Each structure stands twice: as structure tokens, then as C-alpha cells.
Amino acid sequence: MNAALRVAETAAEHTTELPFSPVVFGLVGFGVLIALLLVTFAFRSVGTRHR
């Protein structure tokens, strides 16, 4: 138990800050999902056009 606490303390000392705010990561992820939605929407009728 004591060794685990020492490892946790040393790991906590070596943390790094995020390059952006967590809100920015959320907005970027949301933007990527919207872009994928638009690509899916653009190709929604490709299967029915090639019959």
C-alpha cells in the first residue's frame, strides 16, 4: 500500500497541462462529428442513383 501511494505521488508531480482548454476539445470534437454528419448526408442517395 505504501509503495502504491509513493507511485501515485510521483505520478501526480509529473503531470502536464493540456495545450487547450477542455471546452476547446469539446468544440473540436463536436465540429468533427458535424463534418462527418454532413459527409454522410451528402452521400445518402448514392446507392439509389446507381441502379
Tens of pLDDT, residues 1-51:
778 778 777 776 676 788 989 999 999 999 999 999 999 999 888 877 765
Give the dihedral of Cα atoms 13, 18, 23, 24; nearest 10 deg: 180
pLDDT for res 15: 67
Q: How far apart are alpha carbons 46 and 51 in whole angstroms?
A: 9
Give the dihedral of Cα atoms 28, 31, 35, 40; nearest 10 deg: 110
Sign of CA dihedral 33, 35, 38, 39: negative
* pTM exceeds 0.75: no
